[in-house]
Each structure stands twice: as structure tokens, then as C-alpha cells.
Amino acid sequence: MFSAYSELQSIYAQLYRLGHVESILAWDRSAMMPPGGSRARTAAEAEFRRLIHGLRRQPRLAGLISQAEDEPLDALQRANLREIRRDWLEASALPESLIAASAQATAQCEHAWRDQRPANDWPGFMENFGEVLRLAREEALRLSDRTGLAPYDALIERYEPGMRMDVLDRMFDGLQGWLPDMVTAAMAMQERAPAIAPAGPFPLAAQRELCRALAGTLGFDFNAGRLDESAHPFTGGVPEDVRITVRYREDDFLQALNGTLHECGHGRYAQGLPREWLEQPLGRPRSFAIHESQSLFVEMQIGRSRAFAGVLAPMLGAHFGDRAGFDVDNLYRLMTRVAPGPIRVAADELSYPAHIILRYEIERDLIGGEIEAGDIPALWDEKMMRLLGVDTRGDFRDGCMQDIHWAKGAFGYFPSYALGAMYAAQWFVSLRRDLEGPEECIANGRLKPIFDWLQAQIWSQASRWETLELVRRVSGNELDPSHLKAHLGARYLGWGGH
């Protein structure tokens, strides 16, 4: 007997397998592909994306979705149908020609960015970026027409369903109300007990071994994943084959160490998604902010805690030898040192949200047409100085060209980082409620009970619930930014006796 829902399942299983191939192509382009392969790979990825998009927006899906709504489905099937409908609505709003053009423009811009950024070549970047922005605006307008949302809200919907600019404006305005004073106060406190920076160099081979050992400590499954190197750290692949990357500097071991913590958080989430749902939208991560909450939970809540410094200290000695500054107290001071700087991925935990606010305000106004691409450098410099007190004039490399996101056309993504930090702080409050002594587990390097909690509460749920419902189920409340403020105040100003 024909079932519309079963037909939809078959179509989305096919899409998942094609997406598997697409994700490995993207990983290879960023991590392994020689420069000479760029042009051919760009064309191949554009063609592949066009093929996938054509399957996602085929006209018969509308009828199948409508028929499936009247079929006797259980709760999980209803949730999967909800996610199928969301995916189809987005895909059907965008013609294949636009998807192919966007894929080619972003691949070209991203590949050129890898050389243009170190050369501080903003004019060269603009030659490709103008087309990326034009196409992103067209996508936003088409999605807006289909959903009734404002153009930038329609892009946010791709990454964080249900989130809107008015909520972000309110949350980020609140952050700006207390964050600068907390940064100033923390820096003043830390002047009384400065951290010693261990002297390099830190051989890259030893760093690679350290990061692999750290990933193992965090439970990353190397039978279903890899740790590699790229210009910009990322997590790609699929849950059965997770690809994480970091980047190394011989004079700074913390960059790769923190990158490994962060990307392993993403990787553990991906590897923990329920296998029985993987080929369906129901089995996808709930949202990008929830994904970021997992990376930030591992990197910040666990990785930069005083308890985890005790785990890291002997690992550093084993890989680099005994050096001044590798003791636990100094390592903790080093990992929690507040020093506002220009680079987002190197930012301390406390000043990091300011980097996101800056990018959010710029891309919101870019998509809204209130500013143009040529306005970015001046706005970047002004906001950097206002929010962080950092002068970036003339420094495009470590200023407005530092991230890969805009080159990839990922407008609407950046808010996920700040939202992820808020979720992560709220998760740890819930973890303390449900698990006795999580700090002791961290100090002993016994992380399994913590990851088991994440598995039960978040990973195993995938996209079964809308984001707000998932948050209520895990924490009992809606997203509450006060948890982030309390966490940062406890860690950096000693609030609450921490």
C-alpha cells in the first residue's frame, strides 16, 4: 500500500547519502586539495549542489507532504515531517540556477581568500565578495517572500529556526550593558596575578600528538572520524565519518589546544546523534546555536575550568617537556587571561561575545541594504574600538577578512556563537542539578558521566523538538542570558565563591 510518508523517507535517505559525498568534497577542498584543483573542484561542487537542490525542491514533494499530513503517523514521524516541510519550504523558494551560482561564487571567493587574507588584500577580496553578497541578498529576498520574514530573519531561520532580530537585538543590547565593565574589572584583577607565558617554540609534531591525545581524552571516536589541519578550524563530514580540523602555530600551543577542545565538542555531538534517525531530517543537529553550545560547553565550561587545567598540565609536560608556566595555577591563569584583541578565534572567553555583536550588526545591515560591502572596513574599525578598544585600521588580515564565513556566504550564522555560549552556561547549571560533583569528574579526567548526560539530554534528541522546547526540556526554562553573566562573573570576578 502506497504511503506518502514512506516515499518522503526514501527521498530524504537519498539526499542524506548525496550530502555525505558533498560534505567530504568540502572537507577535502579545505584540508587536502592542492591549489591547482581549485577551478575544477569549484565547478564540480557547484554542479553537485545544483543536483541536490533539485531533488530538495522537486514539485511532487509538495503533494507528498500534504498527503503525509493526513496519514496516521506517530510522534517521531510527525516531527520528521515537520522538518521535511521546513527543508522543502526553504529549497522551493530558491531556483537551481541561484544555488549553482552561489556555490560557484562562494567556492571561488573562499579559495581566493586563503591567499588574500595573509596578503592583507582587501581590494582583491572585494572582486569576489561583491558577487557573493549580491547572491546572498537575492536568496534572502526570495526566502523572505516565501516565509513572510524580514530578509535577514529569513537567513537566521536557516541556522537558528525561530530566532529573530528583535530577540537578538534585545539580548545583545543587554550584553553590551554589562560586558565592557566586566572585562575592565577582570583585567584589573588579573594584573595582580599575571600569567607566565611558557616559552616556545612548541614543535608542530608534538602539538599534533598532543591534540590527538586530547581528542582521545574527550572521547572523540577516531574509528568514525579524523583530526586534520586547515586554514580555518572547522568540523565537517557526517556522523559516521566526522572530520575535525585545527591550525597550528609553533609559538603558540594554546591556539591548537583550544581549537581541539572546540571542534571535539562539535564532533562529539555529531557522533552522538541517533543512528536510527541519521538519514532523515529528524536526525540532524537541532540548530547551529545548539551545535555551538556543545563546542563551547567542551571548550569553555570544561576545557577552561580550573579543574581541567589539572588534567592538561601533565599532558603538556609529556609532549613538550618541563617548562616554566606549565604548573596548574599558571596554566589556569593563562587559559582565562582576559586580553581583548582583534582575532575572534583567539579571543578570551569574556571578550568573545563582543566579536559576535560586531559581526552581527554588520551583516544584519549588509543584508538589509543599509550598508554596502565597501563600508565594512570603516564600520569594523569603529565597532572594534567601541566594543573592545582595539585599533584595526589598515589591518584587513586580522580585521574584517579574518573569518571564512562571509566568503562562504554564511550570513546569519554568527549569532549562533553568542547564543551557543548562553546555552552552554545554561546546560552546566542543569548538569549541576542532575549530576553530583561535575567539577570533581572533570578534575579526575573522568568525563564520561558528563558526556553521558549530554548524550541523554541533547545529542539523542537531535531535531525531535523545536529549539525552545528542547531548552525547556533540558533546563526547565527558556534561554536565559543571566546564566552566562553568572558563569563569567564567577570565573573572572569570583562571584559566588568560585
Pairing, β 225-229 against β 235-238:
unpaired
Closest CA to 157 of 367, 14, 383: 367
The kind and range of the H/E element at 237 are strand 235-238
Nearest-angstrom CA–CA distance, 425 and 300: 9
Pairing, β 235-238 against β 241-246:
antiparallel
CA distances, 348 to each of 111, 213, 242, 299, 333 (Å): 28, 23, 27, 11, 11
Describe the crossing of helices 482-493 and 415-434 by its angle, rounded to 10 degrees.
80
What is the identity of the amino acid at 318?
A
- Our answer to whether residue 263 is catalytic in this structure is yes
> Which distant-in-sequence residues (6+ apart) come within 8 Å of 448 by Cβ?
219
Q: Is 341 helix (H, G, I), strand (E, B) or coil?
A: coil
Query: In sequence order, which ranges of 34-148 are alpha helices (DSSP H)?
Result: 38-56, 60-69, 75-92, 96-116, 122-147
Q: Number of C-alpha atoms within 13 angstroms, CB side, residue 400?
A: 24
Q: Cell match 541523554: residue?
A: 456
Closest CA to 87 of 39, 136, 124, 52: 52
The three cell numbers of residue 288 are: 547551529
Phi, psi of 76 (to 5 degrees): -65, -40
Nearest-angstrom CA–CA distance, 281 and 78: 11
Choose the catalytic residue: 22, 160, 263, 363. 263
Peptide bond into 340 cis (omega under 30): no
Nearest-angstrom CA–CA distance, 191 and 456: 42
Nearest-angstrom CA–CA distance, 300 and 49: 35
Nearest-angstrom CA–CA distance, 218 and 228: 16
Q: Where in the sequence numbering do the catalytic residues fall? A: 263
